[in-house]
Amino acid sequence: MNLVVIRHGIAEARASWNADGRLDEERPLSQHGKTRMALAAAGLATELPTLGVLVSSPLARARQTADILCHRFPDTDLHLSEALRPESCPEDIVTALHQPPLAGSEFI
């Protein structure tokens, strides 16, 4: 199994987002973050031609990052996992990675 870990792209500023009373989990990528992640995905594609499974946090910025990666790797199987929420503990992530349909897959 190959495991590649990518943090989400650059998000909108937390202070200005939260100042309007909006939930942090809905905070999206900034335009700059979208552009940079698309470039990062293109670079990753030169080293890793395919992805088996992409596991993402359900937070908006993580889902947007996953969407950018899935656009670059169109045959990727995307799964959202509550185990990747910021408040989750590392043991939750390990457990999720060993459960079907993810067990034995390549991850990003």
Per-residue tokens: 79: 């799964």
Q: Which residues are paired to 71 by β-bridges?
A: none
DSSP state of 35: H
Say if strands 77-80 and 53-56 run parallel, antiparallel, or are unpaired. Answer: parallel
| pTM (whole model) above 0.85 | yes
On the CB side of 8, CA atoms within 13 Å amount to: 24
- Architecture per CATH, domain 14-97, reads as 3-Layer(aba) Sandwich (3.40)
pLDDT along the chain (108 residues), means of 10: 83 93 96 98 93 90 97 92 92 83 60
On the CB side of 85, CA atoms within 13 Å amount to: 9
Per-residue tokens: 88: 């989750």
Helices (H), the chain: 14-19, 31-47, 60-72, 90-97
Q: What's the pLDDT tens digit per position in 68-87?
A: 999 999 999 898 999 999 99
Rounded-to-integer distance, Cα 62 and Cα 42, Å: 17
